[in-house]
Amino acid sequence: MLILGIETSCDETAAAVVRDGREVLSNVVATQFHVHERYGGVVPELACRFHIERLLPTVREALRTAGVGLREVDGIAVTQGPGLIGALLVGVSFAKAVAQACRIPLVGVHHLEAHLSALLLEEGALPYPFVALLVSGGHTHLFFAEGLGRYRLLGQTRDDAVGEAFDKVAKILGLGYPGGPIIDRLAQEGDPTAISFPRPFLEPESLDFSFSGLKTAVLYYVSGQRSAVSRQLSDIAASFQAAVVEVLVEKLSRAVRLTGVREVVVAGGVAANTSLRKGLVGMAEREGWRLHIPPISLCTDNGAMVAALGHAYFQGGRAAPTDLAPRAMLPMGGIS
């Protein structure tokens, strides 16, 4: 079964062709970093315009690379939400038009569940039940996953998502955009113990997150050390990153203890962070978890993860209604 996956939830225009939910025949991503870099973050209107310009060429490239024609595709999967409503509208409208014109079955998928489903491309199955940590530019969530489309929210950010915090700190330090990869690289040269930034654990045993105060602590430190910041960039980056990683790993550990499961899945763009991956591996070894993380190439937004989840939906008999609509806010398991 050949599935065409389309992803336009934020600032990546992506399309992929996946066979039988596992074999990636193509995975094409048109990045928008150059569009948003000058602003230090994603500008929704510009993101929408880029999707309009690049989606058709991206889909054509995905089909060409896969060596298949559109008429050979058995199903189309498109991200329905959550995300930027204008960006989602471009992808959903395109997918509906192609599906109707070519009489191809269509299914809408949940963006966060698609990130988890990137693991299908490596392992062939998801290890239900499991605890999931989803970390990206727009999301920081802990879920207890019981099965496909069945999730219980355990915790979430009360303010900035972790990827957003990386972007904002990078902007404070004048490092550019996107902040996550830049800070990760710079932190490798720094001392993570050089600066004692706060660890926002919130209430005892809370599974929620809060990174706004940590971001502000970095701002105050930089304001007070302006003349020396250029010589301390790597230490600031390493110390900030260490604080983030400690909080993420500890909150995940609390969730594992609460649920009593040992299967743990970590996904999303920030799951590519080298310090986080190292911290997770260390905790997994100490606590006896079975840790599952997609390869770095599948952590950021891509069409292959959408296609993999779409295949699972189709196998379960799910298909999109003709009035499928994008939804900026969409709870896990809330696909229409």
What's this model's pTM, rounded to 2 decimal places? 0.94
Please give the structure tokens belonging to residue 333.
Answer: 């398991």
Residues of the chain with CATH 3.30.420.40: 2-118+302-315, 128-295
Give the pLDDT of the chain (336 residues) as one tens digit per residue: 999 999 999 999 999 999 999 999 999 999 887 888 887 788 889 999 999 999 999 999 999 999 999 999 999 999 999 999 999 999 999 999 999 999 999 999 999 999 999 999 999 999 999 999 999 988 999 999 999 999 999 999 999 999 999 999 999 999 988 899 999 999 999 999 999 999 999 998 899 999 999 999 999 999 987 767 778 999 999 999 999 999 999 999 999 999 999 999 999 999 999 999 999 999 999 999 999 999 999 999 999 999 999 999 999 998 888 889 999 999 987 654
Give the CATH class of 128-295.
alpha beta
Cis peptide before 82 (omega within 30 of 0): yes
Residue where the block lists tokens 């743990």: 264
Please give the structure tokens belonging to residue 50.
Answer: 């880029």
Tell me what pLDDT residue 334 has.
64
Find how far residue 278's CA is from the centre of its chain: 18
- Rounded Cα distance between 236 and 23, Å, is 41
Please give the structure tokens belonging to residue 55.
Answer: 């989606």
Say which CATH topology domain 2-118+302-315 has.
Nucleotidyltransferase; domain 5 (3.30.420)
Nearest to residue 7, comparing CAs of 335, 301, 260? 301
Which segments of the chain are extended strands (E)? 2-7, 12-19, 23-31, 75-81, 106-110, 130-135, 140-147, 150-156, 263-267, 290-292
Tell me what pLDDT residue 335 has.
59
The Cβ of residue 103 has, within 10 Å, a number of other Cβ atoms equal to: 7
- Rounded Cα distance between 99 and 107, Å, is 10
Please enumerate in sequence order all residues whose Cβ is within 8 A of that of 76, keeping only pairs 6 or more positions apart, or say none: 3, 4, 5, 6, 95, 98, 99, 104, 105, 106, 107, 310
The DSSP call for residue 170 is: H
- Rounded Cα distance between 79 and 69, Å, is 22
